[in-house]
Structures are given as C-alpha cells and as structure tokens.
Amino acid sequence: MGREDLFFLSREEILAVPGGDRAPLAVVRARRAAYVGLGVLPTYPTLIRGEFDPATWAADPNRRPDRFDAQDTTPATDTVAGSPASAGVVEGIARVVATVEEGEVVRPGEILVTTVTNIGWTPLFTRVSAIVTDVGASLSHASIVARELGIPAVVGCGNATTRIRTGDRIRVDGGRGTVDVLEPAASSPEFA
C-alpha cells in the first residue's frame, strides 16, 4: 500500500489495515479509477437540485453548465433562452470563442457566442452582428456595449456555449431573449 492509497479509504478502513484487515485495500483500485473518470468531466453546475449523476449530465448535449434540476421535465428545444439585452433580430453564422485571445478568428458579420465579456472584448463587438453570452444581465459589459453599438444581444443564457457550435446558422432575438438554431453547422473543416 502506497501513501496515496490512503486518500481512497475511509477513516475506519485506514484504521483496520494496521490490525491485519487487508479487505479495504481491495477497493483502492476501483475507487482510484472512479476518481480519474470523474476528474475528466466538465466542471459541475453551480446549482444542483435533486439526484445528480455526473457522467449522465456530462453526456447530455443540452446540459446547462450553470444549473441542474432533476425535476425539470421541460423538453429540450433548439431554442437557447437568456435575458434580452439589446433589441433587434439577426440571423447569421455563430462563432463560439472561449477567450478574447481567440478573437482573431471572428469574421465580420458573424454572431459572437462566448461565456462572458469584459472591456478587452470591446474591439470584437464592431466586427459581429450580434452577441450571445452564458453569463450576464442588463447591466453587464456585453449588454451595455451592444446597446451602444446597436447590435442585438442575449445574455445570461447559461448554456449557449455548450448548445451552439461554430458554424451553426442561428437567429438572435435581442428583444425576446432567445437564440434559435436554424441550421446545424455543416461538417466542414472551415468551422473546425
């Protein structure tokens, strides 16, 4: 038994081993494998309500990264909902960007889809036709700048970056706070 094996045993199991009980050591391998398996899953939602199975949640393409509610039986749709931030309706190609450093790939007229923005993102806003964020409210950076520039924005979607893919043709309705996936991205290397 190695020192690191102790982390996979309960207090009672650790105390039993010096007394000659080797049975607790038999579970270490399985517990270590479970630990490694759970470690590769996405970060769990901040709010979890009800029975939560991390592997099932991670496999769901419509999962929300911000919350999980086991009692939510609303059928999944192609509509991503958020807070209306800047009025207007635009249809276009989505560009999912994780960091501002990746912003150089955003083409003029595309719809920026990201987790959250700050002042460093502002130069990208002049290139895009609409903005969609996972995090935000009416006074967030994305909302204020989008209104100033007159481009539609939907913020606080919670799961836009997991539900929308680069290359998807989407419709952003900044007045209603909805984003509809009109046509999934073609399997083209252009949007890889």
Q: Domains in the chain, please, with CATH?
A: 1-40 (no CATH), 45-74 (no CATH), 79-191 (3.50.30.10)
- The answer to whether 141 is a known catalytic residue is yes
Q: Which of 63, 64, 95, 141 is catalytic?
A: 141
CB neighbours of residue 68 within 10 Å:
21
Average pLDDT over residues 24-46: 88
How far apart are the C-alpha atoms of 181 and 130, rounded to whole Å? 14
Q: CA separation (Å) from 17 to 3, 9, 14, 26, 35?
A: 13, 10, 6, 11, 22
Answering whether pTM is above 0.75, one says: no
Structure confidence by residue, pLDDT tens digits, 66-116: 778 888 766 666 789 999 999 999 999 999 999 999 999 999 999 999 999
The answer to whether the CB of 147 falls within 8 A of the CB of 131 is no
| Residue that wins the pLDDT comparison between 119 and 68 | 119
How far apart are the C-alpha atoms of 157 and 163, rounded to whole Å? 10
DSSP letter at 36 equals: H
